[in-house]
A and B are shown apart, each in its own frame.
Chain A
Amino acid sequence: MALLEVKDLHTSFFTDAGEVKAVNGVSFFLEHGKVLGIVGESGSGKSVTAYSIMQILAGTGKIVSGSIKLNGEELVGCDEKVMKTVRGNKVSIIFQDPMTSLNPTYSIGTQLMEAILLHTNRNKEEAYDRAVEMLKLVNVNEPEKRMKQYPFELSGGMRQRVMIAMALACEPDILIADEPTTALDVTIQAQILELMKSLQEELGMAIIMITHDLGVVAQMCDEVIVMYAGSICEQGTADEIFYNPQHEYTKGLIRSLPSATTAGTKLQPITGTPIDLLNMPKGCAFAPRCDAAMKLCIEKAAPNIQVNEWHRSACWMCIKNGIENGSIVVEEETESKGGDNE
């Protein structure tokens, strides 16, 4: 059984301007001890997917339909009491900005101990010991001294370590990292990523890594989900996504990256501007920006099909190529629904 199973998740924000479908039919599995990367640009719904799992959506946000199963237990529509035992205990989250996600008016020690006291049966002394132990684990030097300090006294990298220590204090099964290194410098980013990787191997938890940086994904993740405008374009193993991309958006993203060999040449950008979630097109959300878009793409969104054992994609071009090389058999003439790979 998969550790986490998300099925056809729809999350919307009900704003004055109308319903914003931030997550629009997302499904995936997460196995024990795996690192899953979710990539996409701002507004693609990657963070909202994570917040839906934790059920920490902002006021107007609501899970409309779908199912989220943790160890087989349904979380959508469950009691808030149940969610309290999930958050922090079984699923923890670290946020992008370590500057604002710690409370400036409490010491590091108080904030760390709060998490431990809430979620475990330890008494104050035991919680203190556990907090110091956690700070040691994330390579914070002089942990006893840090316990008494306030967030403003620490550097960005140090604060992110404290956040990680807090998230891991109750030994969760899943750690959700929402752009954990975006606010950090490159050399500090390397330290934090290295730390997360070694902790993951040591403690055996699963990680959902949300990022827009394909470099971070390549370095950290076993499996990757590419999101655009609230839907999954493509999902598969990291090698499949980077070396055998099937969706035009993924291809465009990888093509547009500057690298050692592009110096002095033109980059190949994705044209157009990011989508307005209030004005979603009828067909494939990426079609207005896609160079390869066909008539069909504008009229109808492509179904998510199995490309091979390790790879799924939702792109008509991929299906067209599949039909041409015979790997996809069309079942009905009118319903051009892709069958499974033979």
Chain B
Amino acid sequence: MSENNNKALIEVKNLKKYFDISVGLFRSKPLKAVDDVSFTINKGETLGLVGESGCGKTTVGRTLLNLYKPTSGEIWYDGKLISTPADIREFRKKATMVFQDPYSSLNPRMTVSDIIGEPLDIHKMYENKQEREDRILELMSHVGLNSEHASRYAHEFSGGQRQRIGIARALAVNPDFIVCDEPVSALDVSIQAQVINMFGELQEQLGLTYLFVAHDLLVVRHISNRIAVMYLGRMVELAEAGEIYDHPLHPYSQSLLSAVPVPDPKVARANKRIVLSGDIPSPLNAPSGCPFRTRCPHATEQCAMEMPPFKEVSKGHFVACYKVDEIN
């Protein structure tokens, strides 16, 4: 998007996040929500992250911001490794989050101005009350809210407006990077486009970098420069947005993209869907080797042995599949 195109702002190396789940009275078992995921996000870029529920896409976003402590792996921000609590505190001034559900992510007992002002309070980002007030009103006008809304409570707003409040809160600390976790999926169709446009405008004005997590593939394609596909905690494909839609290489990406209902009756009738059989396995009992092999029409014994490496097959196009040459 911008001219410093190739400068990585966020670098994630071999990120793992396991949750301990108790499976008996005294036994617990690791749930591998994110397993060995590596990627970079360039300055001013939007990286889309897609996958089905339980694939770990939200966990990636949250672990990235240290809302969950990573089990292992490194997160680099602007060339610096984030490791100590002081780093994390500093990092959170630069990286914020917009949550999925605009209903439960806003405290019902706080006014809009307190919700937006809270990050300012935490990071002590103002000298006096007037400055705080001014900043809050500036943020509200950024996201298209009126100044008279400041003293109201969240329940007085519609879903779209609530999401605007959530976005203003995320912008409060003047971040460079925002994790957007399904920010439009709870909104009505007629409102979605407004909020999507706002993300685009804010990116242009403020030079923001986004990790855009969503399951609506048409929305992700619209907003993202590059897209990563996840399945059961693993990243299976990563490429430019147009490339991944036109030439998906991983069998999972292929079926996922073909399953998207296209809002055009003639295309929908002609569309040949690759309908997968079966359900997603539980991440507690993930299959050995490639996690997708139990539903993959091309799986062989090799796939059960070991996770295929995540390798670059053409410029900027990464795939984790042994059979990638055979299938395509």
User: Which A residues fall within an 8 A CB radius of B?
Assistant: 41-42, 155, 157-158, 185-191, 193-194, 212-219, 238-239, 242-243, 252-254, 256-260, 262-263, 266-271, 273-274, 289
Taking a contact as CB atoms under 8 Å apart, the answer to whether B218 and A185 are in contact is no
Known: A212-B188, A253-B190, A258-B196. Contact between A218 and B263, CB under 8 A? yes
- B154-173: CB near A (< 8 Å → 1, else 0) gives 00001011000000000000
Of A218, A256, A263, which contacts B192 at CB under 8 A? A256
Taking a contact as CB atoms under 8 Å apart, the answer to whether B260 and A215 are in contact is yes
B residues within 8 A CB of A270? 190-191, 193-194
| CB pairs A–B below 8 angstroms (11 shown) | A189-B261, A190-B259, A191-B277, A219-B262, A219-B271, A242-B263, A252-B190, A257-B218, A263-B223, A267-B196, A267-B197
Taking a contact as CB atoms under 8 Å apart, the answer to whether B190 and A186 are in contact is no
B residues within 8 A CB of A274? 158, 188, 190-191
Known: A215-B262, A273-B160. Contact between A256 and B193, CB under 8 A? yes
Taking a contact as CB atoms under 8 Å apart, the answer to whether A216 and B261 are in contact is yes
Q: For chains A and B in complex, what number of residue pairs have CB atoms within 8 angstroms?
A: 133
Of B160, B264, B279, which contacts A157 at CB under 8 A? B279
Interface residues on B, range: 35 or more
- Cβ of B142 within 8 Å of any chain A Cβ, yes or no, is no
Q: CB-nearest residue of chain A relative to B224?
A: A263
Interface residues in B264-297 by Cβ distance below 8 A to A read 264-269, 271, 273, 275-277, 279-280
B residues within 8 A CB of A262? 222
Shortest distance between the CB of A247 and any CB in chain B (Å):
13
State the main secondary structure of chain B at its contact with A. helix
Taking a contact as CB atoms under 8 Å apart, the answer to whether B190 and A190 are in contact is no
Shortest distance between the CB of B241 and any CB in chain A (Å):
6
Taking a contact as CB atoms under 8 Å apart, the answer to whether B259 and A189 are in contact is yes
Taking a contact as CB atoms under 8 Å apart, the answer to whether A194 and B275 are in contact is yes
Taking a contact as CB atoms under 8 Å apart, the answer to whether B217 and A42 are in contact is no
B residues within 8 A CB of A263? 221-223, 241-242
Give Cα distance in the complex from A89 to B186, angstroms.
34
B residues within 8 A CB of A271? 194
Known: A212-B188, A215-B268. Contact between A259 and B279, CB under 8 A? no
Taking a contact as CB atoms under 8 Å apart, the answer to whether A188 and B279 are in contact is yes
- A185-B280, A252-B190, A256-B189 given; name 19 further pairs at CB < 8 Å: A41-B189, A185-B215, A187-B259, A189-B259, A190-B276, A218-B264, A218-B268, A253-B190, A254-B263, A257-B218, A258-B218, A258-B221, A260-B221, A263-B223, A266-B200, A268-B193, A269-B197, A273-B158, A274-B191
Shortest distance between the CB of A310 and any CB in chain B (Å):
13
Interface residues in B195-217 by Cβ distance below 8 A to A read 196-197, 200, 215, 217
Taking a contact as CB atoms under 8 Å apart, the answer to whether B265 and A218 are in contact is yes
B residues within 8 A CB of A257? 189, 193, 218, 263
B residues within 8 A CB of A243? 265
B residues within 8 A CB of A212? 188-189
A residues within 8 A CB of B258? 190
B residues within 8 A CB of A191? 275-277
Q: CB-nearest residue of chain A relative to B219?
A: A258
- Cβ of B245 within 8 Å of any chain A Cβ, yes or no, is yes
- Cβ of B71 within 8 Å of any chain A Cβ, yes or no, is no
- Cβ of B112 within 8 Å of any chain A Cβ, yes or no, is no
Interface residues in B312-327 by Cβ distance below 8 A to A read none
Q: CB-nearest residue of chain A relative to B196?
A: A267
Taking a contact as CB atoms under 8 Å apart, the answer to whether B217 and A259 are in contact is no
- Cβ of B255 within 8 Å of any chain A Cβ, yes or no, is yes
Taking a contact as CB atoms under 8 Å apart, the answer to whether B193 and A269 are in contact is yes
- The interface centre, meaning the residue of A194, A216, A238, A267 with most chain B CB atoms within 10 A of its CB, is A267
Taking a contact as CB atoms under 8 Å apart, the answer to whether B190 and A215 are in contact is no
- Cβ of B6 within 8 Å of any chain A Cβ, yes or no, is no
Shortest distance between the CB of B226 and any CB in chain A (Å):
12
